[in-house]
Structure 1
Amino acid sequence: MNRPLMVAFDLANQQAAMELAKALGPDGRGKTVKVGMELYYKEGARILQKLQEQGYAIFLDLKLYDIPHTVEKAMLQLARLGVDYVTVHAMGGQEMLQAAKRGLAAGAAESGLPAPKLLAITELTSASEEVVSKEQNCRLSLEEQVLSLAQLAKDSGCDGVVCSALEVEDLRRVLGDDFFYLVPGIRMSDDQVGDQVRVATPAMAHKAGASAIVVGRPINQSAQPKRAYERYLADWQDSLKEN
């Protein structure tokens, strides 16, 4: 089973993205990159094509959250881009999530491409218990909220969720192994956590049951991105071998 380490290309423009791609090696085959809002809003679909031409699989992380009709039509367009994963906010509700799935299916059928995996954002890894309670006015604990949103996502036809490593074990126990658990907020124990709150090492994420992990600043802001990538990949792959 493919369990990728995704590198977050959270960068300002195409030049920076191509420099990082070059630093990671001449061939992107077997690698997955995350293109988020900053890079996509600057460069649009052309940056996806550039990366795909080098062999990279694409996680397009735009976190759609709007009325169902708008999300459905947006997903129809994204499915035509040949990306591998896309995201929506689970808080958009069942009708919106189902509309997203319909849009992906329609766009894939029209373009003759496989439909991207639809991943639902639960709670961002920058969110804390206090944020969920005091700012979101949620009556549930953080863990209960993540489980509730993940259950909604699965019931609505999503292929998986984005969550922290701290919740994966409980989610797998309730939702099963036929669901995709993507874990951002990955840091080695000696790295700066930045604005992340719920973090884990690659090995910790695997032990918890992550299907894939996303690593951003420790690689894309490193003076030696390839060495940083290989360090994280080794920790992730070593943990997979132990399984």
Structure 2
Amino acid sequence: MKNLIIALDFGNKNEVFQFLNHFEKEKLFLKVGMELFYQEGPAIIHELKEKDHSIFLDLKLHDIPNTVYGGMKSLAHLGCDLVNVHAAGGKEMMMAALEGLEAGTEAGKKRPDIIAVTQLTSTSEEQMQSEQLIDRTLQESVLHYASLAGSAGLDGVVCSSHETSLIRNKLGNDFLTVTPGIRLSSDSVGDQKRVASPQFARESGASAIVVGRGITKAENPLESYLLYKQAWEGVLS
């Protein structure tokens, strides 16, 4: 998995398909988040899959194990490629999520990869310590959640590029590290705290990067996408 995932930061499917018109026959890896999914429902996943795009359904499930089991069992029928939960829900919840996903995947088909959110890239160390009352460094917290996800059998985590190498050293190269908060030097940071360039993410060993506004709000989305893609693949220095 060495993908550039585009976050579809749109409120409805009309805006999505207007955006996708810029890409003609390009097969993309697209992230559908809460705003779009809650507005359009499962139909948006089916429509995107019909166009042969890969889908990361970013709903960040976090509830009691039985509820998350049922939720994942239902989501498995959508045919997404990647789904996620919050690692803060605990090991038992993550194991239930994986079990639900396996139970809901049709026989003979590959289940979606499942990853756990460690600490949001909008969270600073100060916020984590003062608001979550976690008396550790941010890196220690992220590494702990990643280890917990690994022990629960999950395929990887969502983390910032700044923690990727630590996670790889502890959990190996096959453990997925999906990294949002990716910006080119010309981009606005926005509400993200722990940002990084595509080059930094690549050099840190990230499995995939997630880019939203840098592409979706660009005057020329295709041109911006190709710039990010080249930087991520090492074509640009």
TM over 0.5: yes
Other structure's SS at 1:76 match: helix
What residue is the counterpart of 2:198 in the other structure?
202
Aligned alpha-carbon RMSD (Å): 1.3
Contact 2:73 2:100 in 1 (8 A): yes
Could you tell me how far 1:178 is from its partner in structure 2?
A: 1.7
1:10-29 equivalent positions in 2, closer than 5 A: 10-23=9-22, 25-29=23-27
What residue is the counterpart of 1:134 in the other structure?
130
Residue identity in the other structure for 1:34: K
Contact 1:82 1:113 in 2 (8 A): no
Give the whole-Å Cα distance in 2 for the aligned partners of 1:171 and 1:214: 18
Other structure's SS at 1:165 match: coil
Give the whole-Å Cα distance in 1 for the aligned partners of 2:20 and 2:208: 20
Give the whole-Å Cα distance in 2 for the aligned partners of 1:28 and 1:119: 26
Could you tell me how far 1:28 is from its partner in structure 2?
A: 4.2
Contact 2:57 2:84 in 1 (8 A): yes
Does residue 223 (structure 1) correspond to residue 237 (structure 2)? The answer is no
Give the whole-Å Cα distance in 1 for the aligned partners of 2:45 and 2:21: 15
Could you tell me how far 1:196 is from its partner in structure 2?
A: 0.4
TM-score, normalised with respect to structure 1: 0.95
Unpaired runs of 5+ in structure 1? none
What residue is the counterpart of 1:98 in the other structure?
95
1:55-70 equivalent positions in 2, closer than 5 A: 55-70=52-67
Give the whole-Å Cα distance in 2 for the aligned partners of 1:127 and 1:113: 36
Give the whole-Å Cα distance in 2 for the aligned partners of 1:230 and 1:28: 11
Does residue 71 (structure 1) correspond to residue 68 (structure 2)? The answer is yes
TM-score, normalised with respect to structure 2: 0.97
1:84-163 equivalent positions in 2, closer than 5 A: 84-109=81-106, 112-163=108-159
Count of residues in correspondence between the two structures: 237
Unpaired runs of 5+ in structure 2? none
Residue identity in the other structure for 1:104: L
Residue identity in the other structure for 2:176: F
Give the whole-Å Cα distance in 2 for the aligned partners of 1:54 and 1:22: 12
Deviations 1:107-154 (A, max 9, x none): 1136x5321001000000000011111010101110100000000000
Deviations 1:196-238 (A, max 9, x none): 0001111100100100000000111112111110110110112
Other structure's SS at 2:153 match: coil
